[in-house]
Structure 1
Amino acid sequence: MKAVYPVLFTKTENNILIEVPDFDILTEGENMSNAIEMARDAIEVKCVSLEDANKPIPKPSALEGLNANDGVFAGEGNTVISLVDIDSGEYRRKIDTKTVRRNVALPSWLNYEAEHAGINVSRVLQEALISTLGLKTPNY
């Protein structure tokens, strides 16, 4: 799932405090670049968790409905609202690298040919699924 969520960033003397209202997420970052990374990571973790639990993922709030002065950290520094893009599918491909066993039925003659050609059937199946689904190859 790809989406763009509004995030409140509050710059303090020492760091940037982060609030993601749609998910009740609070975190922090060292600087703005790190804060955006932290917000994206926190949202993607939450989305993957909700997907795994078959729970609905909140739709992004409209910017017009948010006020920087209403944020949890509003009194701690200067707060700005910005948008952070997420891709929970890409995030899942990065973090969920464990292998799972699947039974695959092949005609005996095809299995014979693959074995004698030294072909890794699991690898070919992975590549075919990635191609068929139009996915990017993960960078392990």
Structure 2
Amino acid sequence: MKQEILAYPVILTEYNDDGHYYVVTSPNIPGMVTDGDTIAKALIHAEDAMAVMLDGTDYPAVQDPKLWELKDNQLVSWVTVNMTKWHSRYGKTVRRNITIPKGLNDWAKENKINVSKVATDALRELQKV
């Protein structure tokens, strides 16, 4: 299967108000904003934010970050996202019927439990093994 891998430069802005954290934005992807309490976590979050923003769109051209004017608390990094893998994990959903005990079904309804989300989360945990 051909992998669709994208790479875009991002701006990490360091903040020390209300704690120490980094905000990630990209002039390439208007509206993409995420954060993390370390650079590593911020960049991991940026991968998912980028995929969400780019999913189903024509991918924008990559701007040269050397042309960006940065503030003293900003730095540039690159984020890559494998859209093929992202789609296989988070892409289009399908309807699937499952059988569960009536008592569990009643309890889930009473407690407003999203059974599809619970099943999806459980399957993702099993997938990690």
Q: Say yes or no: TM over 0.5.
A: yes
Residues 1:48 and 2:75 aligned together:
no
The number of aligned residues is 92
RMSD: 2.4
**2:14 — aligned with what?**
11
Identity rate, percent:
18
**1:59 — aligned with what?**
61
Residues 1:34 and 2:29 aligned together:
no
Gaps of 5+ in 2: 97-126
Find the residue that maps to 1:61 and give its secondary structure.
coil
Give 1:97 deviation, angstroms: 6.6
Give 1:98 deviation, angstroms: 3.5
Larger radius of gyration: 1
Pick one of 89, 94, 105 that aligns with 2:89.
Answer: 94
TM-score by length of structure 1 reads: 0.57
Query: CA distance change for structure 1 residues 11 and 34 in 2, over 3 Å: closer, same or farther?
Result: same
Find the residue that maps to 2:28 and give its secondary structure.
helix
The answer as to whether partners of 1:9 and 1:19 remain within 8 angstroms in 2 is yes
Task: Write the letter of the residue equivalent to 2:15.
Answer: T
**Structure number with higher helix proportion:** 1
Task: Write the letter of the residue equivalent to 1:36.
Answer: L
Give 1:139 deviation, angstroms: 6.2
Task: Write the letter of the residue equivalent to 1:16.
Answer: Y
TM-score by length of structure 2 reads: 0.61
Gaps of 5+ in 1: 51-55, 70-76, 102-137
Find the residue that maps to 1:22 and give its secondary structure.
coil
**1:21 — aligned with what?**
27
**Structure 1 residues 68-107: aligned runs within 5 Å:** 68-69=70-71, 78-96=73-91, 98-99=93-94
Please give the alpha-carbon distance, in whole angstroms, between the structure 1 residues aligned to 2:59 and 2:34: 19
